[in-house]
Amino acid sequence: MLFPPLAPETRDGLERVLRLIDRLFPIPRRFRPALPKDVAALSKLLTSARAERPASYLSRPQARSAYLRYFLPWNLYRLCRLLPSLPLPLAPYGAVTDLGAGPLTLPLALWLSRPDLRSMPLEFRCVDKAGAMLDAGKALFTALAGADAPWQVKAVRAAIDAPLAGGKAALVSALNVFNERDASGYDRASFAAFARTSAGILKRRASQNGAVLAVEPGVPKSGAFIALVRRALLEQGYAPILPCPHYERCPLPEDKWCHFAFDTADAPAPLKSLAEAALIPKARATLSFLLAAPPPHESPEEKERKPGGKTGGKTESAAVRIISDPFPVSTGGGRYGRYGCSAQGLVLLIGGKGDMQSPALGFGALVEAAFKGRDPKTGALLAAAR
């Protein structure tokens, strides 16, 4: 399961993070009533008013407090739903380079959601230009994990493309980093060039067998960016591990984007209450992501799946990753569909409403599907889930 519900221990840890934030970064009582308004104002700066956002926007105490109390916990929640499913190439004394680390979101989320890694000696190089947020994150991580934790966390105040000491890393990550770039004036060629540059930054910092992880908001621009980064990494010799079930070209048309959504029923209640007070309630969380690495030594059959390889002729079934909500299809008769991604292209799975709403066919599910022609409207392969 790609986005399992939070483990009880992880949920308890998230609630503890909220308490630690209040203890480490207290708000004077007279300013507390304004917190929802501050969250809403910061949300606007991060979305519709991105072009108006000053470079030092988090230097203001109100903005920094809103980020730590709202955006950081929600980012932790999203990652805690994702990280348990990822095959991260981490071994004792390995290194992680986290670009645009902010308040150490990745180390915090890994500590919360991957108890299997807590006893492993690891080095985290957390890179960001905002020193105040790095310091806040380090204080929070120390309070959460304890001073004797085996993880060595280094805060590096630098741009993400600056030369770094310490060598290459087993994992290079960029979480909600490229979304901060205002791309409203980009044409397609410029946007693709930006994605190629970004992919190069990630890959250059990874060790020979290292992986790169990019996570962005589940909105059209971010999904398109992740698809372009995927293409650039393929051209540079990397292969997608997740969420893609194949190495082929992304089959999504330009008016769609790869993203995943899941309900937030297990998110901490105080966090959901703050979202409602700020008038940005979150019944669901969304994200777009890519985990990529050098391809393994392939068998001849596996090589056929790579770009430029053989297609193997007509394929009657394939692994399909679910990438949409269920929706009524035009054939009527109470039939519903979900879009999916496969090595053969875009897939439209069709079935009864109950079948399409089953958790087994939820966002991110990987299913084996048998093809039955093509949808005349979209050109997608028609399939029934097995």
Mean pLDDT value of segment 331-354? 88
pLDDT over 70 at 299, yes or no: no
- The burial class, CB within 10 Å (0-12 / 13-18 / 19+), for 149 is middle
pTM of the model: 0.91
Task: Give how far Cα 295 sits from Cα of 28, 41, 78, 148, 305, Å.
Answer: 53, 44, 27, 36, 11
Look up tokens 């990652």; give the residue. 79
CA distance 323 to 250: 12
For residue range 34-50, list pLDDT tens digits in order.
999 999 999 988 876 66
- pLDDT tens-digit readout, 144-197: 999 999 999 999 999 999 988 889 999 999 999 887 775 666 678 888 899 999
Domains of the chain, start order: 8-293 (3.40.50.150), 314-385 (2.40.50.1010)
Phi, psi of 69 (to 5 degrees): -90, -20
Measure the CA–CA gap between 87 and 78, rounded to whole angstroms.
Answer: 17
Spatial CB neighbours of 133, under 8 Å, sequence gap ≥ 6: 58, 64, 67, 102, 103
Strands (E), the chain: 94-99, 122-128, 151-157, 169-175, 206-217, 239-242, 260-263, 284-293, 317-322, 327-328, 335-342, 345-352, 366-374, 381-385
- Residue 280 confidence class, pLDDT cut points 50, 70, 90: very high
Q: Which amino acid is at 310?
A: K
- Alpha carbon 368 to its chain centroid, in Å, reads 24
